[in-house]
């Protein structure tokens, strides 16, 4: 389910990356806290254009056990103090943000923390919608800005056994007051088209399995999906967009903006995708970040405008050797947790493919078999089956403007999709053809 968007790159805000979020979210969800294995940290901070950039380099992540949602207080040194109104956990959240103003130098005075999980290549959390509150699994998407959930009256909007929303059953749901029809329409890069009506509704975060931090949000209620809502195929009900207000199809403030405003939080969010598929060790924090998630300093790289999280990539190394160099070869680069592959401009992808086939042909699926079909490789969507990924694949190293460097091991750029008692290991890099170069 990848979302392709345009973005003008210029001087502007800063995005903090401690693990390249662009790399294969879900399957390879990395960056900002979206990756598997020990890379799963990523932090984006949406600062207003014009703020000076601070540079840092992402450190290694600390190990984290299964996390639970919590709300923390933090002192000025960033040490979390337990909020007596909430139960503390040992969760290790990831970071991303979109604050206006200077980049946060330490965790906010307090922040909310909720669990992230993965199904196949998609990362989701649970929100509670309506009164009485009903749980919804929503994909966490930094490439859109709307909260969208399925109406129970739309059969193509939700799968069997999935949650759906009954408008008449909630005491707090109201259609938007500015338009009698309140329509919305949104399209995604995989061809999915959703449409419906915009509601004002009470939505709460899932904290320790209970609805907390209730906020009135604008909610897109799906009444139609063409050909169908793809994310429902893996058990996800809707989408929770974390990008800027400017790209919200509802034309209203985004969920993250309303949550931080209602609860007096710093305008920052953070994501830690978790170390394994189907695991419970991922975390989303709103209003701050948890320093227990990573070791070392956080490194910043500029983002360009308050729409999508667009950054500038300087070099991509494979196995320590530069393979793609120069921002023009990457084009516009988007950090998008809703994209399940890392997509490179076609010439850049071909350069990576050629390099791997020249130097790593001895590894499974890098080169076609002797006397076999030419497209029998991992670049042609073939996957390996096994309990572990074979050893020997190189590390990808991304260099960003400002000096931030992110090392992505093969365990992060290969997807790990449950397959019986084993996993499908699928190469998470793909080509993107278009009029102008773009990397997602």
Concerning whether 267 is annotated as a catalytic residue, the answer is: no
What is the Cα–Cα distance from 376 to 203, expressed in whole angstroms? 47
> Which of 11, 73, 141, 281 is flagged as catalytic?
141
Q: Buried b vs exposed e over 188-199: b needs ≥16 C-beta within 10 Å? A: bbeebebbbbbb
Residue 33 tokens, joined:
């806290």
Q: How far apart are CA 235 and CA 136, in angstroms?
A: 10
* Annotation marks residue 146 as catalytic: no
Q: Is the dihedral of CA 171, 287, 14, 140 positive or negative?
A: negative
Specify which residues 343 forms β-bridges with: 430
* CA 136 – CA 237 distance, rounded (Å): 6
> Is 42 within 8 Å of 19 (Cβ atoms)?
yes
> Cis (ω within 30 of 0) for the bond into 208?
no
Residue 423 CB contacts under 8 Å (≥ 6 apart), including other chains? 277, 385, 386, 387, 416, 417
Main-chain phi, psi angles of 174, to 5 degrees: -140, 140
State the Cα angle at 127 between 126 and 131, rounded to 5°: 140
Query: Do residues 114 and 210 touch, judged by C-beta distance below 8 A?
Result: no
> What is the rounded CA–CA span in Å between residue 61 and residue 409?
13
Cβ partners under 8 Å of residue 72, min gap 6:
80, 81, 82, 83, 86, 88, 107, 110, 111, 113, 288, 290
β-sheet with 383-386: strand ranges across: 383-386, 422-427, 414-419
Token readout for 203 is: 């939505």
Which is the catalytic residue, given 206, 237, 281, 336?
336
CA 82, 83, 89: angle at the middle one, nearest 5?
50
For 160-308, strand residue ranges (E) read 174-175, 183-187, 193-207, 210-226, 238-241, 269-272, 282-286, 300-302
Q: Which residue reads 């449409």 in tokens?
A: 195
In angstroms, what CA-CA distances link 216 with 104, 173, 199, 284, 314?
26, 9, 10, 19, 41
* Closest CA relative to residue 127, chosen from 196, 65, 70, 207: 207
> What gap in Å lies between CA 16 and CA 19, rounded to an integer?
9
Catalytic machinery residues: 141, 336
């Amino acid at each position: 389910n990848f979302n392709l968007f345009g973005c003008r790159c210029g001087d502007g805000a800063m995005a903090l990356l401690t693990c390249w979020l662009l790399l294969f979210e879900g399957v390879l969800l990395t960056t900002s806290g979206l990756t598997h294995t020990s890379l799963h940290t990523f932090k984006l901070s949406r600062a207003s254009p014009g703020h000076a950039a601070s540079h840092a380099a992402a450190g290694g992540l600390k190990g984290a056990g299964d996390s639970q949602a919590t709300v923390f207080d933090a002192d000025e040194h960033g040490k979390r103090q337990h909020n007596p109104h909430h139960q503390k956990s040992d969760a290790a959240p990831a970071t991303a943000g979109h604050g206006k103003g200077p980049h946060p130098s330490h965790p906010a005075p307090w922040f909310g923390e909720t669990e992230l999980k993965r199904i196949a290549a998609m990362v989701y959390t649970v929100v509670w919608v309506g009164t009485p509150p009903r749980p919804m699994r929503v994909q966490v998407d930094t490439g859109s800005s709307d909260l969208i959930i399925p109406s129970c009256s739309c059969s193509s909007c939700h799968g069997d056994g999935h949650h759906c929303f009954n408008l008449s059953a909630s005491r707090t749901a109201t259609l938007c007051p500015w338009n009698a029809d309140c329509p919305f329409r949104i399209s995604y890069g995989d061809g999915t088209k959703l449409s419906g009506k915009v509601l004002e509704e009470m939505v709460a975060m899932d904290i320790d399995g209970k609805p907390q931090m209730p906020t009135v949000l604008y909610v897109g209620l799906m009444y139609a999906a063409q050909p169908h809502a793809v994310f429902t195929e893996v058990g996800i009900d809707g989408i929770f967009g974390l990008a800027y207000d400017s790209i919200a199809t509802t034309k209203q403030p985004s969920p993250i903006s309303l949550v931080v405003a209602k609860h007096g939080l710093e305008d920052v969010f953070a994501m830690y995708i978790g170390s394994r598929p189907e695991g419970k060790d991922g975390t989303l924090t709103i209003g701050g970040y948890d320093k227990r998630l990573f070791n070392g300093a956080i490194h910043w790289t500029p983002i360009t405008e308050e729409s999508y999280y667009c950054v500038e990539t300087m070099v991509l190394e494979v196995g320590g050797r530069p393979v793609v160099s120069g921002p023009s070869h990457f084009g516009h680069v988007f950090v998008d947790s809703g994209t399940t592959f890392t997509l490179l401009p076609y010439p850049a992808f071909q350069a990576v493919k050629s390099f791997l086939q020249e130097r790593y042909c001895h590894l499974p699926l890098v080169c076609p078999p002797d006397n076999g079909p030419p497209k029998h490789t991992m670049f042609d969507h073939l996957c390996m089956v096994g309990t572990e990924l074979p050893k020997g694949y190189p590390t990808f190293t991304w260099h960003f403007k400002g000096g931030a460097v992110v090392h992505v091991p093969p365990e992060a750029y290969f997807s790990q999709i449950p397959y019986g008692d084993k996993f499908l290991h699928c190469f998470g890099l793909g080509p993107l053809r278009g009029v102008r170069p773009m990397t997602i």
